[in-house]
Structures are given as structure tokens and as C-alpha cells.
Structure 1
Amino acid sequence: MNDDSGQRVYSVDVRHQKHSSSSGRVIAHLYLDGRHHAESTVPAFFPVQGGTVEVRASTVGLKRCHYVTAEGAEFQLIPDPASAEGRRARFDRSHPALSRCIGLLSAIVLVGGVVLLALQLAEQLTRNPAGVAQYVGTFTSPIDLSGWVNTVVGLVTVAASTERALRLRYNWLLDGAAG
């Protein structure tokens, strides 16, 4: 609240491509009542009235965008209705069962992607007898995918990661491995 009992509105804008610096760092912009108030590289911690706005990014979206009060209570920020995240939240409110199904499907796709990645990585690491194979032996993946199937799996995994990012969900294993 400000002095004349009007509510202050803080907004955060994180654009991974448009606002990234030449070093590849992602920049978060904080707006107060529609005016640019501050900016910081991510992870960002913006001191605001009554607490802090914390922003952390992943390669596919945001890991965290919360308001943390001085007492330690945490509140996830509400996405702008015009943003992709806001449209995903509106879809979730208007079609909750379908939204849950899509969310479950994206989690299953990401788990499958992580398993395939682990199998293929283990095979590649143990392929050379002079490397890791001399200590653990060789491993042949039980799943052998062609190049085009690997490409399709990669694209579907990116789509699932994007869906999770739009829902403002992040898991270090699923979203960190996929993105």
C-alpha cells in the first residue's frame, strides 16, 4: 500500500531473447504501477515494499517468480492475462480436467525423455573400451532409435517443457534435463 491507501502494482518482465545481454544472461525488469522501476540479471532479487520479488529462470521458462514478505510468507506472482502464461492459466481455469490431462501427458513425455536420454548417454559413455568401459563394462541400450525418431522425441520433449513452463511448473530433474 502507498501513503494515499492506493494499492501498488508490481510487474515482472523476463524475455529470454529480446532482453538478454550479449553475454547470454537473462535480464528481469521490474515495473511499479506500469513504469520501469529496476532491472537485474537473473537470478534477481528486487527489494519492494514489505518484502522481495524473487525471479529465477531456467532454459525453458521461469523456475521461480514469487513475492516473499519480510516475515517469510511466499506468494507466486500472477501472470499477465495477455501473456502466454496468462492464457495457459485461463485455459486451466476454464477446462480444469483437460488441463490436468495435458499436464500429466507433459510430465510423462518428460519422464520418457529423461529415461531415453539416460540410456543413450550410458551407451555413449561405455562405447570406448579405453574410457569408462574399462571400469564398468559396456552397455548397449535396449532402445535403439533412428535419427528421425530421436528428432521427433526431442521436439515433443521441447513442447512438453514449454507446456510446463507456461504452467509455471519447474522440476530440476524433468525440466533441467529437457531444457
Structure 2
Amino acid sequence: MALRPVRLHQALSRTVHTITLPDPDGPAVWAVETRTTEDHRARLYRDGQRTSTAEMPATFTVPGGRIEVDAGLYGVTRVHLVTPDGRERRLAPAPGTLEHRRAALTRDRPRTSRAIAVTAVVILLVNLVLATPVWLEMVTSIPEVADRVGTFTSPVLLPGWLLGTLMVAGVAAAVERAVTWRHHRIVDAETLWTSL
């Protein structure tokens, strides 16, 4: 099966990353495709033709090493060539992907890119502060947990429209962090709550 270009309507659900590697018959372009909303599989292509498919986390053997692939709820978390000596090289996002568009924004408009990145962190931190008490109330409302540790009532009471807005903003911020390959244990802990 042939690899198709990534269309605009697929930007949030499909990624393709590529790398050119030497081969006895000449350089070959290897591509890894993931479709996070359809299945949890990675597909490997050589010069546009599918060669294999694997469940993620996936490892594909290629000339000069192996390609390791994994994805989370908000996008690809790993797509690297690992050489036999342990060196790693991330594959490049293919044109049309959200990652490629975001990298172009960073290159062409660095100030706008930084402003978007900072805004995403602020949104995730605000959501983390607001979500923690709500999450604790949810967990302690489970009878088995309440019997052991008691219940907790969240002091945070937000109107439904604000909760919805924060959830949408949190998802957008999480996608922003994923496509720019940024991750921090505390900042990105909030992405767990937006997935509930």
C-alpha cells in the first residue's frame, strides 16, 4: 500500500515522519505513519511503499539501526532512529503534518511561536491548579476510597461554560506541547485531566 500525503483535515489524527538512510541500492526514504484516533499502530514505509505494521510502542529494523515509535493521547512521543552504538536521531515531520506546520511557524515567526508556547504552559498550569481539587473530590467519592481516607469537597466551583472552555483550551495546549516535543512532568500532568 502506498503512503498518501497528509491532508489538512488529518492534521490532528495522522502523523508522518521521515528519514533518508543509505542503502546498497542507493539512498532510501523511510517514513513512519501513525493514526492516533483510529488505532494504536505504526506503519513503516520505504520509498512510499508500506513494508510493515506494528502495535506501539513499535520497533522497526532499518539499515543502520532501528526506528522506535510511540504515541500518547495527544500525538507522537517518540519517533527516533537508534544506531547500533546507541546514538539517537529524531525523524523529521513530513510536509502537511501539524508538526511540520508548527516547525515552520517557529522558523518563520519565532516571537509568535514563543508566545504560543508560553500561553500553552500558562493554560496547563491554570488547569492543573483547578483540576487537582476536582480530581481529588472525584477519587474520594468512590466508596472504597472514601471508606479508607474519607471524602474531599473541592473548594473550586466553576460554572459549566468555564469548565468547558478550560477543557478545550487544555486540549489545545496539550496538542501544542506534543507537536513541539516539549514535556515536563509537572506542567504536562494536567493533560491527564483533560483526557477524562
With the length of structure 1 as denominator, give the TM-score of the two structures. 0.84
Are 1:85 and 1:166, in contact at CA under 8 Å, matched by a contact in 2? yes
What pairs with 1:6-45 in structure 2 (closer than 5 Å)? 6-18=26-38, 20=39, 26-45=40-59
Partner of 2:128: 114
In structure 2, the partner of 1:23 is none
The 5 Å alignment of 1:158-169 reads 158-169=171-182
Q: Deviations over 1:86-129 (max 9, x none)?
A: 1111111111121122112112211222222211112334458x
- d(CA) in 1 for partners of 2:158, 2:111: 33
Q: 2-side partners of 1:42 and 1:171: how far apart?
A: 22
Task: Tell me the SS of whatever aligns to 2:92.
Answer: coil
Query: Within 5 Å, which residues of 2 pair with 1:63-102?
Result: 63-102=77-116
Length, aligned pairs only? 171
Gaps of 5+ in 1: 21-25
C-alpha distance in 2, partners of 1:47/1:161?
31
Q: How well do the aligned residues superpose, as a CA RMSD in angstroms?
A: 2.2
Indicate which of 168, 171, 182 corresponds to 1:155. 168
Deviation at 1:155, TM superposition (A): 0.7
Q: Give the strand-richer structure, 1 or 2.
A: 2
Tell me, in whole angstroms, the C-alpha distance in 2 between the residues paired with 1:16 and 1:132. 33
Structure 1 distance, partners of 2:64, 2:138, is 52
Can you give the 5+ residue segments of structure 2 that lack an aligned partner in the other structure? 1-21
CA distance in 2, matches of 1:52, 1:115: 40
Tell me the alpha carbon deviations over residues 56-91 of structure 1, each in whole angstroms, 9 at most, x when there is no partner.
Answer: 110110111111111101111110022121111111
Per-residue CA deviations over 1:135-163 (Å, capped at 9, x if unaligned) read 55554433211122111111111111121
SS state at 2:50 partner: strand
Alpha-carbon spacing, 1:31–1:170, altered in 2? closer, same or farther (3 Å) = farther
Q: 1:54 to 1:171 in 2, by over 3 A?
A: farther
TM-score normalised by L of structure 2? 0.77
Partner of 2:23: 2
Please say if residues 63 and 170 of structure 1, whose CA atoms lie closer than 8 Å, have aligned partners that are also in contact.
no
